[in-house]
Structure formats: C-alpha cells, structure tokens
Amino acid sequence: MGTAIVITSGKGGTGKTACTAAIGSFLACSGSRTLCVDMDAALRNLDMALGLSQRVTFDYGDILSGRVSPEEAVTAHPTLENLYFLSAPTELPDDAEAEGFAALTETFRQSYDFVLLDSPAGIGRGFRTAAAGADMAIVVATGDLASLRDGQRTVQELRALDIQEIRLLVNRVSPKVYRKLKRNLDDVIDTVGARLIGVVSEDGSVAEAGNLEIPLIEYGAKRAWDQFDNVAARLRGEKRKLGRF
C-alpha cells in the first residue's frame, strides 16, 4: 500500500507546485511508482511544472463522474520512468465530487508507491478535498512572516483532520535574507510546529525550469537539485544529512 501525501501551505506561492513536481520526479527516478495529482482545480499548473501541459486529456473530475477509469485518466510521463500525472478539473468540483476524492486516493494508494497531492493555497474546500484521503502532509513554508503564521494554522487544521504525520519543508531559503531578518531555521520550525523533512534554497533554476516547462530533474539546479533529492530519499526511508546553506 502506497503513501498519499498532501503538499500544502496555507499561504499562496510558497512553492507547493514546484516542490510536488520536483519531489515526485526524484521519487520516480529512484524507482518508486509515483503519481502527482494537481488538486488546484480551476487554477492548475502542476502539468506545466512537469512539462506535460500538451499531453493531458482527462482530469480527476472525469473519473469521479464515471466518464473514464482511473487508468485512462492518468498520463505517464514520456521521459521520466515511474512518474504519472493526474490533472485537476478546469472548474471547481461540487461537494459530491470533493467527497468522492478520498476514495479515489485510496484506490491510487493500491497501485502507486507515492501519491502526491498538490493542494491549492488556503484551508478551504480545495485543501480539505486534497487532505481527506492523505496519510501524511508536507507543509511548505518560506521564512516569510505571513507564511509562518499560515503554516502554523495549516498544521492545526491538518491535526484536526487527523493526519498523523505532518512534516515541514522550508523553501526558498536565502542565508542573506535570514540574517537580515535575524531569523533562523529553528524559528521557522518552532513557529510552524512540525518536524522538518527538508530545506530548499532560493534557486533561480526552479523558476527557470518552471517557465520553460522542463522538469527540474532534467533542467538541473545548483542547490535545489540535491535538496529535493534529499527530501525524496527521506520519504523513501533513507537517512540524509541536512547539509549547509
């Protein structure tokens, strides 16, 4: 049985989609069958981060309405073995569809090692739909004050939804900015209130790869490449040192 992980943040723009795509690619490339699901209905962009925007035909709404089977709706990545993608619908799902999603996540857990659910920003219905079937959450926060407070609130919501394992990914870390703000990683961890799964530096390659619609794992990155690889390895149960920033 695979693990379903919701990637969430509360605050928008912390890097959930970029992290989902990168972690999913590294998991797949180390041999884990991995399904990345865009849960950001209407505002989807995980397809672009994975370089798949021209290849997607169906979305999870098509499965929930019975139009296609889960196997038919999923797109296999053309160059990254073991990586699969499921798009979000172009319209916001109704209550019934949102409720049906947890059962669908359960189905996917039977055929994938990892199911990564790229949550929309906020703690509204889209977030709850994404979290409903998840057995683990990764909260993506930056060192930004608003991101920390929203991250803390998100952790509380995830606990209320009875998600047992909640981990923190601190993204876009810039030592220069942290020094200026007199902030350190411990402050971020203490404020958000979840155990660390990894730290990813501010790295221009992440945005470049996203804009060019090339998966980061194929584009390359100076700092973020190893850091995302480390997060994926930890999810697979390996021990990896945090490294320097």
Tell me which residues touch ligand ATP (CB under 6 A).
9, 12-18, 40, 120-121, 171-172, 200, 202-203, 206-207, 210, 224
**Residue 67 or 179 having the CB closest to ligand ATP:** 179
Q: How far is the CB of 194 from ligand ATP (least distance, A)?
A: 17
Which of ligand ATP, Mg ion, none has residue 206 at its interface (CB below 5 to 8 Å by kind)? ligand ATP
Q: Are strands 114-118 and 75-76 parallel, antiparallel or unpaired?
A: unpaired
Q: How far is the CB of 45 from ligand ATP (least distance, A)?
A: 6
Site residues (CB under 5 A) for Mg ion?
16-17
Tell me which H or E stretch contains 29. helix 16-29
What is the 8-class DSSP label of residue 13?
T
**Residue 68 or 185 having the CB closest to ligand ATP:** 185
- CA distance from start to end of the chain: 36
For 183, other C-beta atoms within 10 Å of its C-beta total 16
Q: How far is the CB of 134 from ligand ATP (least distance, A)?
A: 17
Q: How far is the CB of 67 from ligand ATP (least distance, A)?
A: 26
Of 204, 244, 171, residue with least CA distance to 8: 171
Please report, as a single letter, which amino acid is at residue 235.
Answer: L
